[in-house]
Structure 1
């Protein structure tokens, strides 16, 4: 955990809506020729080891030689590793296999990295004119119908975790759009985007080489696939009877505080998957352990069994390393489950240590009562005027407010004293007659309240010239 990691973690911590992605690297190697890509020592790149980013490895694409694709589709991994099982394995013939070159984790302090994987072999991508002029065609020209004026293809084949990562970035953009255009609309945190993608990811275990001595992937999470291959449809639109529920940015937890959520499983044929992600404060570079604020996910099953995040049933020591925790129960018994999100050791910010998080849960059931308790404050911001604006006459003030469940009201005040009224439905528009007010700077504050009585305020300063 070096300076690059600390800077990236700080950026996301200070800009919690921003999703940053980094390629895990292409340094996968089988130094001892045992048929398994090495995890000791780890080969993950420094930037991809940061806590708050999405680190993306590469799985195989699916362009088998039998379908007469170009690029490297007729090549095997034997060009890099001329021994079994790589020497007979085609580079892009099994989407449940890993790209041999994909860098393996974990991070130096044992954190699970990469976070996710996406296809990264024989990806068809745009072919830049300067690269073509230099004779660089990546993994080969794509002989498709898309050609420029010189009849040269506009596309070529390419591979690497740097091809997997743009696919993952596109998935993040679609997750963000899903929430912004949802009902209700919600501005998702980077932690929620990460949590939803991890929740719906496909576990590649055991990989493409079976369960013998050259087994490629063990049960997730692991330093090969992280939490699995991105499956956007399963993350956002799981097939019935499976459903997705989520919580984002609830009131922050202090040490020894917890949130308790109750979930009823009605269909045991669907795995129950619950995970939390939190945007952790940056650690000191070269810290022995990068985690600063430690939360725990604890699931209690209907028969009283306790399962901690990233731990097997029966384990008594929770995860104290990762800021992503998951519990997966493949055949959950019908009944009520309790999810505890606990503040195990929250030390930052120093003046008021609290840690918020995002939670995603999917399975054959729903929260008891149909929804989780309303523990998430609303989001509120000014549409107009802008901060520092000069106002004259009757000023129009418009506020945007959204909530994960439902907004009750929005109230606007000037200088904390004069109430311009409340609005109980959008659009949240207010009018302020500035004629009788003193010249100079004034503070306008908007307060949004939801039906759980959670409140959030936003303020701007305006000037009456």
Structure 2
């Protein structure tokens, strides 16, 4: 809901007014902002910056032929140009002042002298500009052609902007923050599970993914052994970066939830201190083909030098895909740009995400509902952002990492077939075109083109459901696709890697291509285009079919296509120079079809990242409901789950029984059964340490129903390696044979299927010693002292002997033959006062294992015990008593003159009293309750 004040009404009215202005009126608007008040009426024959009113369809190439270069596109009708104008432009060109160099967030800001800020500048000669700034006494530094300068806005406008080489000045946040804190790994909603099942050979091997943020933990067991040092790492280790690396490319050594999308890919790290892309030569030398950026800064609705830098990087490295998280500022409102004060819209975190050739990813929950705190579009100029969503309730960081991992698998598949990496624009086209609609119907500024469908994307890639070409201005390319009679939901998407716009461009698009689709009946369809008007209502308005002159992604859909040959046409509406490469992806569904997405034959329900399982499918069946059942005896009998399942939802929530068993499920629709593969229902195994002795360790676990044997695995150089198989439920290992203390147990059923294995555990941290895990005494009223022993295992244990200390040493007071891992013995004749006990575990092989000795105080004959006596002034006086139910005891101490020097309530039956204020000497103590008084002498030393 938009909160409107008077200023907002005026602003929105002005924006709506300008959106309907004529070209002359557009130019007049910008002329008032940028015209040089000191300029003469006639144009000088020197190279200057000018404000130019463009003619309809006037190309940049035409302007260049007449000596003008477009520097900043203000809107579709006006631009800042540079050059020597000719008389043909007299009636539509004005000399411009220097304020056109300001980013939109600075336009209209007062020239405050008292507020120092760090401005980002772009210069055509950074060295010269840096020297000029230093000569002005300003603090500045540079990276490439980008300069940071500290000053106030008055100084910026009066001294910095007039510098000839400076072409841009803006406030760009260069302090990135990671955007999710929790690893929630669940690949089922985006069909990554299906990719892993049907294409297990696609694992990212020999591919390199870069994680740009603080360094991930290179010793993490899901990442180690696959790290390529980059020289670009930051020193700090980040748990967030470790999570992102795990989602994208975790090995799964820790558990199933530690297995990433591209689980064998090589990982490298790059710091994000200055929020800039890496150098081209670094990407090349490291072999990086995907870089993940799960971080953000502030809401910045403008195309700045960072956005330009990433578009340049993508354009110069056309096979590298930059994947950004959309941000987690979805509940915030933009305070600048065209979408100022529109509540909870246009809040993508960072101007670098305004780039065109990258991919921004937002989040939905496990059933496709919008996550409120995740950032939303549009981009600063109305372009559709974010492009995609994936599952994550923790934030868009995790979503970006998932897409980064999937992109690696897509690149691997293409490379294995073609021998080269695919263009990043092709990957974008396939990912976008294969997405399933989420949120509101059709494309929108919250879920973009929809939710990622990893399996469908891979199938379309491997099925060559894409086209490629290039066009120049006014050139037209046509392609034919044959659509069968049983097709539904035809979808076609074009993507091109557009040249970078100049920083400050109000409209980022440079090369404008137009997509059209013509049916066999000559009906023509245009792309879906969203309303870019700066209002909340417009932002939520359903897309319309019309020409798109804003995005470098265009999509056409036809819900019910007729059979026949369709013509896909691409027209070069305006291409600055040469040819513009493009890629087209297409697909259709098949009528009256049903396909299971989850579970597959490799899946376990419900612990593959979901604590509660969801059956998932795709359906174009005419009937909208079905009967859902499952069987655990290979279909001999079936158990009803639900009578009328809504097929249009594509999912059903199921709390599976707590059993370990193979199972199958089916949906009955109109008498036809659609069965899943045989999947597993199981819970993770729990492994315990029986003993952890100097030379050996014993691991043990429960019997798994139906298991024929168990695989014992330990951490190798990269993976959890199998070291042995056993039909038993325990194994004793010689430590000398294994350098690591990390192990896991994998059950194997009689049919060869493998239920969930145990989490990988470190036996050295389980708190179990050599058989003994614990020993402690406890008073048992007046009957004696119970002695308690905890064993890791009683396998190989002859008995446990219990001993008590006497003046002559420890003596045996009893033995117990263990029948479980908990052993108890009652000492019925303990000493009055202090007792020291220990336990001896005696093994069948004759070895003995001693526990640590343990002290306890036992009182039955007397009510109180006072010790030590004599007592040092610096020590505590202990007063032990029988357990007092509700009654409080009190101690009073008197000196030899009968004067009371201490009076204290005993707070418990094991009280400690300070005597440090007493002088050395002899005292009398009285300990009293309602029914008794104990008197005695106390010597303080």
The TM-score normalised by the length of structure 2 is: 0.27
1:49–1:55: 8 Å Cα contact kept in structure 2? no
Question: What is the CA-CA distance between 1:328 and the residue it aligns to?
Answer: 1.0
Residue 289 (structure 1) aligned with residue 507 (structure 2): yes
Q: Which of 426, 432, 455 in structure 2 is aligned with 1:198?
A: 432
Question: What is the CA-CA distance between 1:224 and the residue it aligns to?
Answer: 0.3
Residue 3 (structure 1) aligned with residue 290 (structure 2): no
2:527–2:546: 8 Å Cα contact kept in structure 1? no
Q: Which of 390, 393, 413 in structure 2 is aligned with 1:118?
A: 390
- Matches of 1:58 and 1:317 in 2, distance apart? 28
1:22–1:47: 8 Å Cα contact kept in structure 2? no
2:346–2:379: 8 Å Cα contact kept in structure 1? no
- Matches of 1:279 and 1:190 in 2, distance apart? 8
* Matched residue, 2:636: none
* Matched residue, 1:261: 479
Q: Which of 450, 464, 476 in structure 2 is aligned with 1:228?
A: 450
1:111–1:322: 8 Å Cα contact kept in structure 2? yes
2:490–2:557: 8 Å Cα contact kept in structure 1? yes
1:26–1:161: 8 Å Cα contact kept in structure 2? yes
Residue 245 (structure 1) aligned with residue 547 (structure 2): no
* Matched residue, 1:188: 422
Gaps of 5+ in 1: 32-36, 63-94, 122-158, 205-216, 366-465
1:3–1:285: 8 Å Cα contact kept in structure 2? yes
SS at match of 1:109: coil
Residue 18 (structure 1) aligned with residue 320 (structure 2): yes
2:311–2:355: 8 Å Cα contact kept in structure 1? yes
RMSD across aligned positions (CA)? 2.6
- Matches of 2:491 and 2:374 in 1, distance apart? 26
Residue 53 (structure 1) aligned with residue 358 (structure 2): yes
- Matches of 1:259 and 1:186 in 2, distance apart? 25
SS at match of 2:431: helix
Residue 307 (structure 1) aligned with residue 525 (structure 2): yes
* Matched residue, 2:568: 339
1:280–1:323: 8 Å Cα contact kept in structure 2? yes
- Matches of 1:47 and 1:30 in 2, distance apart? 18
Residues 47-69 of structure 1: CA deviation (Å, up to 9, x unaligned) = 22210001011111x3xxxxxxx
2:308–2:501: 8 Å Cα contact kept in structure 1? yes
SS at match of 2:465: strand
1:44–1:106: 8 Å Cα contact kept in structure 2? no
- Matches of 1:190 and 1:41 in 2, distance apart? 25
Residues 107-164 of structure 1: CA deviation (Å, up to 9, x unaligned) = 010000001111122xxxxxxxxxxxxxxxxxxxxxxxxxxxxxxxxxxxxx211111
2:381–2:506: 8 Å Cα contact kept in structure 1? yes
* Matched residue, 2:404: 169
Question: What is the CA-CA distance between 1:41 and the residue it aligns to?
Answer: 4.5
2:481–2:567: 8 Å Cα contact kept in structure 1? yes
- Matches of 1:339 and 1:17 in 2, distance apart? 25
Residues 154-202 of structure 1: CA deviation (Å, up to 9, x unaligned) = xxxxx211111100101111111121123x4452000001111111111
2:307–2:351: 8 Å Cα contact kept in structure 1? yes
1:198–1:227: 8 Å Cα contact kept in structure 2? yes
Question: What is the CA-CA distance between 1:316 and the residue it aligns to?
Answer: 7.7
2:467–2:584: 8 Å Cα contact kept in structure 1? yes
SS at match of 1:271: strand
The TM-score normalised by the length of structure 1 is: 0.54
Question: What is the CA-CA distance between 1:309 and the residue it aligns to?
Answer: 2.0
Deviates more, 1:284-293 or 1:302-311: 302-311
SS at match of 2:307: helix
Question: What is the CA-CA distance between 1:29 and the residue it aligns to?
Answer: 1.1
Question: In 2 relative to 1, CA 339–281 (structure 1 residues): closer, same or farther, beyond 3 Å?
Answer: same
SS at match of 2:528: coil
- Matches of 1:26 and 1:40 in 2, distance apart? 12
- Matches of 1:58 and 1:40 in 2, distance apart? 15
Residue 358 (structure 1) aligned with residue 583 (structure 2): yes
Question: In 2 relative to 1, CA 290–189 (structure 1 residues): closer, same or farther, beyond 3 Å?
Answer: same
SS at match of 1:287: coil
Residues 364-385 of structure 1: CA deviation (Å, up to 9, x unaligned) = 69xxxxxxxxxxxxxxxxxxxx
Question: What is the CA-CA distance between 1:307 and the residue it aligns to?
Answer: 1.2
Question: What is the CA-CA distance between 1:271 and the residue it aligns to?
Answer: 1.5
Please state which structure has a larger fraction of its residues in strand: 2
Residues 371-403 of structure 1: CA deviation (Å, up to 9, x unaligned) = xxxxxxxxxxxxxxxxxxxxxxxxxxxxxxxxx
Query: How many residue pairs align between the two structures?
Result: 269
- Matches of 1:362 and 1:235 in 2, distance apart? 10
- Report 1:38-77 matches (<5 A): 38-60=343-365, 62=366
Question: What is the CA-CA distance between 1:100 and the residue it aligns to?
Answer: 1.2
Question: What is the CA-CA distance between 1:228 and the residue it aligns to?
Answer: 0.8
* Matched residue, 1:326: 555
Q: Which of 354, 371, 381 in structure 2 is aligned with 1:99?
A: 371
- Matches of 1:228 and 1:198 in 2, distance apart? 7
Question: In 2 relative to 1, CA 43–185 (structure 1 residues): closer, same or farther, beyond 3 Å?
Answer: closer
SS at match of 2:581: coil
- Matches of 1:51 and 1:300 in 2, distance apart? 27
